[in-house]
Amino acid sequence: MDPLSDVLSLLRPRSIMSGGWDMGGAWSVGFGPHPGIKCYALVSGQCWLVLDGAPSPLRVEAGDCFLLPHGRAFHLTSDLALKPVDAKAAFTLPLNGAIARVNGGGDCFGVGGHFDFAGQHAGILLRELPPVVHIRKESDKAAMRWSLERMMEELREPQPGGALVARQLASMMLVQALRLHLAEGRRGGVGWLFALADRQMSAAIGSIHGAPGHGWTLQELARRAGMSRSTFALRFKQTVGRSPMDYLTHWRMLLAGDRLANSNEPVSSVALSLGYESESAFSTAFKRVMGCSPRKYSNGQSPADPSRIVSEFTPAPHLESAAG
């Protein structure tokens, strides 16, 4: 798999709720704080998105898509002067595999999904993203159009197995939105996600993710990137926020933690598969990165604050807001 797929797989989506809303007349609907990522797209009409803590509201037009990865409360409205009504009270149907309506609908129709993650390391992705990712370029809208139209059809004309299809389409929307955000190549951003927009850095990161147990050297990774050793080391640190070998170690430990927590694989086997001939050397590295020994981790005694691990993997702060 590629690095983005690797990270998304490691997050282990616990639930995917999909659905749509159909608004009519004057309306304002509020949504409380949420875990995971919300990903929505407007099929028709227009509205305002008001996110808690954001400096200004966003105008959302037909075809636009937006991600909300930080769990902040928000509301959608036809008029900024209106007081929002809680979504649970406003909608005539739950927003899960169905179309929820306000005032009979007809003016503003949107679809999307809510992705909640079971893995401890959701922040590996979420910390790299701004509070709002707004996809609104015409070329980007065209890339999203097929998924939007198919999801609209599934929700408006339910068929056997439609709920599953809608969830899969919501997942496609999420990945496509992340791709489009990545393609923007956010200038000045630091972190593994931003680095994937750089062809040379992406080649090195892809090599690490493709064979995490390989005995990578700085020279070999530089060769994969098509750069000199010294130039590669400097560029990688500037782009990713840590050295290539440090990134390799942290990715190995995140993989190890996932396997130890979700399988009965012995520590010695995990260590060997990730390039450690000595279990003691692996255990030392694991404890340094993950905060406890491999055996404690496999027994469910992982550190109480997994965000510390995440912040070490993605050490640099991201932009406070962004629009595609």
Higher-pLDDT residue of 25 and 262 is 25
Mean confidence (pLDDT) of the chain: 84
In whole angstroms, how far apart are CA 206 and each of 7, 41, 64, 225? 12, 30, 30, 10
Q: Please name the residue that has the structure tokens 């999904």.
A: 113
pLDDT exceeds cutoff 90 at 281: yes
Q: What pLDDT sits at residue 92?
A: 64
**Cα separation of 11 and 6, whole Å?**
9
Q: Look at residue 165 and tell me whether its pLDDT is greater than 90.
A: no
**Both tokens of residue 177?**
């939105």
**Domain boundaries along the sequence of the chain:** 3-184, 193-313
Residue range 193-313, CATH number: 1.10.10.60
How sure is the predictor about 306, in pLDDT bands with cuts at 50, 70 and 90?
Answer: low
CATH no. of 3-184: 2.60.120.10
Spatial separation of the C-alpha atoms in residues 229 and 221, rounded to whole Å: 8
